[in-house]
């Protein structure tokens, strides 16, 4: 299976739990049919990303970061950079951004989101087509953030909703906590 076909399969495997996620999933699949280069940042209209709802070992807290460039609280994640294995993308990005070794993907994708990234010098406004995974941190994990964040915090759901009202971030956390509660 080629990389794009693999990515489409990963998107197909997501079982959306909200209308927003369902609409994003449809939009992503349509985008991939029209942009065969969507795995790469060189696709200037938009490209695939993988991100992670990282829960602690007990499933009671989620790790969220204050993104340095965007100045918003979001989950760790990043560009596919040509990799059509989207769970691997999410795991790679989560590990790079948090410094946590031994992260474990718990499920197929749990959410889809499409969001605009503002233009920056040398980069036009574009879409991030994000497939999101539930990832569990090992017991006694130590966070060592990288250059992409200003701060990272472990939060329960109530604390998260006090920190951000971003619908997409709150939706992902809610789904992540619900699944973690069922599994742990």
- Per-residue pLDDT tens for 155-175? 999 999 999 999 999 999 999
Pairwise CA distance, residues 123 & 3, whole Å: 25
Domains in the chain: how many in total? 1
- pLDDT for residue 138: 98
Pairwise CA distance, residues 127 & 43, whole Å: 10
Asked if residues 103 and 135 have their Cβ atoms less than 8 Å apart, the reply is: yes
Q: Say yes or no to pLDDT of 1 above 70.
A: no
Q: Say yes or no to pLDDT of 110 above 90.
A: yes
Mean pLDDT, residues 103-113? 97
- pLDDT for residue 7: 98
CB count in 10 Å sphere of residue 59: 19
Label residue 107 by pLDDT band (50, 70, 90).
very high
- pLDDT for residue 70: 85
- pLDDT for residue 74: 96
Label residue 184 by pLDDT band (50, 70, 90).
confident
Q: Say yes or no to pLDDT of 113 above 90.
A: yes
CB count in 10 Å sphere of residue 4: 17
- pLDDT for residue 133: 98
Residues 73-102 pLDDT 10s = 999 999 999 999 999 999 999 999 999 999
Pairwise CA distance, residues 49 & 79, whole Å: 4
Pairwise CA distance, residues 79 & 82, whole Å: 8
Residues 6+ apart with CB under 8 A from 144: 98, 99, 100
Pairwise CA distance, residues 168 & 184, whole Å: 24
CATH number at residue 166: 3.90.79.10
Pairwise CA distance, residues 96 & 38, whole Å: 22
The range of the structural domain enclosing residue 105 comes to 3-183
Cα 143–chain centre separation: 18
Residues 50-81 pLDDT 10s = 999 999 999 999 999 999 988 999 999 999 99
Label residue 176 by pLDDT band (50, 70, 90).
very high
pTM of the predicted model, to two decimals?
A: 0.95
């Amino acid at each position: 299976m080629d990389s794009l076909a693999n990515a489409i399969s990963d998107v197909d495997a997501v079982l959306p739990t909200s209308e927003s996620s369902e609409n994003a999933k449809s939009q992503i699949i349509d985008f991939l049919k029209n942009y065969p280069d969507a795995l790469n940042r060189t696709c200037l209209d938009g490209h695939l990303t993988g991100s992670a709802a990282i829960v602690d070992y007990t499933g009671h807290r989620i790790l969220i970061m204050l993104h340095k460039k965007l100045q918003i609280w979001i989950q760790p994640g990043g560009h596919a950079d040509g990799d059509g294995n989207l769970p691997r993308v999410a795991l790679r990005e989560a590990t790079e951004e948090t410094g946590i070794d031994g992260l474990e993907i718990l499920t197929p994708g749990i959410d889809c989101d499409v969001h605009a990234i503002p233009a920056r010098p040398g980069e036009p406004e574009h879409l991030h087509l994000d497939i999101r995974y539930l990832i569990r941190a090992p017991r006694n994990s130590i966070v060592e953030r990288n250059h992409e964040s200003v701060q990272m915090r472990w939060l329960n759901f109530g604390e998260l909703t006090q920190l951000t009202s971003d619908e997409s971030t709150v939706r992902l956390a809610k789904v992540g906590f619900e699944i973690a509660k069922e599994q742990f």
